[in-house]
Amino acid sequence: MHKKESFASDRELFSQPNICVCPKGFTENRCQISDTKIILKFDKNILLSSNLLIFFHFFHLLSNTLHSRSINLLLKCENDSSLVIYWSNPFNIIFIQISPFEYYSIADKTINDQSSVIIHTINQLDRCRSIYKIFNETMTRIHIIQCIKYYHLPCQNLSLNLSCFYDDIHICSCQYYGDQRLANCFEFNHYDLNFDNETLDYQCYSNNSFHSFTLPCLSTLSTNSAISPVNTCKYFLCLLMFLFCLYSS
């Protein structure tokens, strides 16, 4: 049984008789709900520096054209053999970011049950590749409106074995929808996070503990900016009209 601390509150000011401070991994007013537990390990071929800041990008698909993105930050200490993070909100896709333009896909399925446990060993196949290394130079020179309509092709090319990729303004996950493998893309700012460890007030302790916290200010609601897996052709036509208006204004 997990432990919780309850404090009596002023009944004249509060309708609830007690306020519970939940331990890590539990939520709700009585700490009765287990958060989703994510356990990560890294393949030996992925070299990581000590005292590394790792950003977790959680995407929750609210509809065919709307999603939310939340960011959680975790500090990996030198002697940590694995990382553990807890998440209390539903999500569909998780990317981790360990340096600028270095992303890995660690989950691409809908998680609504807060008691779920995800165990994943990150390897090079999970890494998101730049679209400039996938398409030839001719393709990457054309306008984004023209280029984006080909974004399903890397996912459908099984020889590439892609889990995700990115361009200048998107990050995309390759996912199966029925018998088709399609790109699900989101607007993504590659420059809005700070990786300067010295400016952040974190410390690693000798007991191999890890530290993480949520950044609520970086929880955003956005429209899916590329190709929706549902009603692909219909939405793609709307997308082209939207992008044409956007870039011609």
pLDDT, mean of each 10-residue run, the chain (249 residues): 52 57 74 84 85 86 76 77 84 90 85 75 95 86 81 92 93 90 89 60 42 42 45 39 45
Q: Residue 245: is it exposed, middle or buried by C-beta count within 10 angstroms (0-12/13-18/19+)? A: exposed
| Residue 213 and residue 188 share a domain | yes
pLDDT of residue 239: 45
Q: Which domain range does residue 146 map to?
A: 35-248
Whole-prediction pTM: 0.73
pLDDT of residue 100: 86
CA 76 – CA 131 distance, rounded (Å): 29
| Residue 237 and residue 120 share a domain | yes
| Residue 83 and residue 72 share a domain | yes
How many domains does the chain contain in total?
2
**145 in Cβ contact with 247 (< 8 Å):** yes
Buried/exposed 49-79: b ≥16 CB within 10 Å, e otherwise: eeebbbbbbbbbbeeebebbbbbbbbbbbee
| Residue 107 and residue 3 share a domain | no
pLDDT of residue 144: 75
pLDDT of residue 16: 54
| Residue 52 and residue 11 share a domain | no
| Residue 243 and residue 204 share a domain | yes
CA 60 – CA 234 distance, rounded (Å): 22
pLDDT of residue 201: 40
The predicted-structure confidence for 149-177, as pLDDT tens digits, reads as follows: 889 999 999 999 999 999 998 999 998 88
Q: Phi and psi (nearest 5°) for 161?
A: 55, 50
| Residue 224 and residue 161 share a domain | yes
| Residue 186 and residue 87 share a domain | yes
| Residue 166 and residue 98 share a domain | yes
pLDDT of residue 165: 96
| Residue 96 and residue 1 share a domain | no
Helix (H, G, I), strand (E, B) or coil at 117: strand
